[in-house]
């Protein structure tokens, strides 16, 4: 566990306690660690390799959430195990991995006793939460992107007289968001913006 910064700051008693209650594992590529809805009470700290978190959607769709890389642990796995609730995603190894499996109750003790570990895990939560927030925004904008084009095409004209404010009201969004997406569509040569008018290309 020497690769984990928080481990270096533990005293000898804490290090021994953690090592004695951990299991070192080597797992092959394309192995499913846990499925969406599972409660996996062992928490993985990754020494080498990469793990992908995926969410199952409708009609067997798989949405990539984020990756776990060297020196990280899975926040979905951690939150699921500590709260005893089903995981919101499936974890699958992208490469062969090496790491440590630590029981949830040991992680709980570590969170209470180690300021260094607290700093590590809260920082990791912030990083992965930001990644998930960005993903959600991207999905929302992509959906709105399609809704805008569908709305304009329904007008059966290449020139649609409408303001950004009016379009935002039609699509239950904000003018700022609509303007941003329209600019992106114009950049992709799908539309051309005019004063109070949008041209379909």
Q: Where are the domains of the chain?
A: 5-113, 136-200
Question: Is the distance from CB of 87 to CB of 76 less than 8 angstroms?
Answer: yes
- Give me the pLDDT at residue 61, please: 65
Position 193 pLDDT exceeds 60: yes
φ, ψ at 96 (rounded to 5°) = -65, 135
Class of domain 136-200: mainly alpha
- Give me the pLDDT at residue 168, please: 86
- 0.85 exceeded by pTM: no
Q: Where are the beta strands (DSSP E) in the chain?
A: 23-27, 32-34, 42-48, 51-56, 62-68, 90-93, 97-103, 159-160, 191-194, 197-200
Position 24 pLDDT exceeds 80: yes
- The span from the first CA to the last CA of the chain, in angstroms, equals 57
For residues 160-168, give the mean pLDDT.
Answer: 91
Tell how strand 97-103 and strand 42-48 pair up. Answer: antiparallel
pLDDT tens string 57-103: 655 667 788 899 999 999 999 999 999 999 999 999 999 999 999 99
Tell me the percentage of the chain whose pLDDT exceeds 90: 54
pLDDT band, residue 161 (cuts 50/70/90):
very high
pLDDT band, residue 174 (cuts 50/70/90):
confident
State the chain's mean pLDDT as an integer: 89
- Give me the pLDDT at residue 48, please: 95
> Does domain 5-113 match CATH 3.50.50.60?
no
Q: Which residue has the higher pLDDT, 156 or 164?
A: 164
């Amino acid at each position: 566990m020497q690769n984990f910064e928080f481990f270096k700051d533990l005293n000898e008693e804490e290090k021994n306690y953690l090592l004695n209650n951990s299991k070192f594992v080597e797992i092959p590529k394309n192995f499913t660690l846990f499925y969406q809805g599972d409660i996996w009470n062992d928490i993985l700290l990754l020494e080498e390799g990469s793990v992908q978190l995926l969410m199952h959607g409708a009609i067997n769709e798989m949405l990539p959430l984020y990756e776990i890389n060297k020196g990280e642990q899975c926040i979905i796995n951690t939150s699921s195990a500590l709260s005893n609730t089903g995981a919101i995603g499936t974890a699958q190894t992208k490469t062969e991995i090496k790491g440590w499996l630590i029981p949830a109750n040991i992680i709980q003790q570590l969170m209470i006793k180690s300021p260094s570990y607290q700093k590590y895990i809260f920082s990791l939560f912030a990083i992965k939460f930001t990644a998930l927030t960005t993903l959600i925004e991207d999905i929302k904008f992509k959906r709105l992107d399609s809704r805008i084009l569908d709305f304009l095409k329904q007008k059966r004209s290449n020139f649609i007289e409408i303001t950004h404010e009016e379009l935002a009201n039609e699509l239950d969004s904000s003018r700022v968001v609509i303007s941003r997406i329209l600019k992106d569509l114009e950049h992709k040569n799908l539309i051309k913006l005019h004063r109070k008018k949008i041209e379909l290309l």
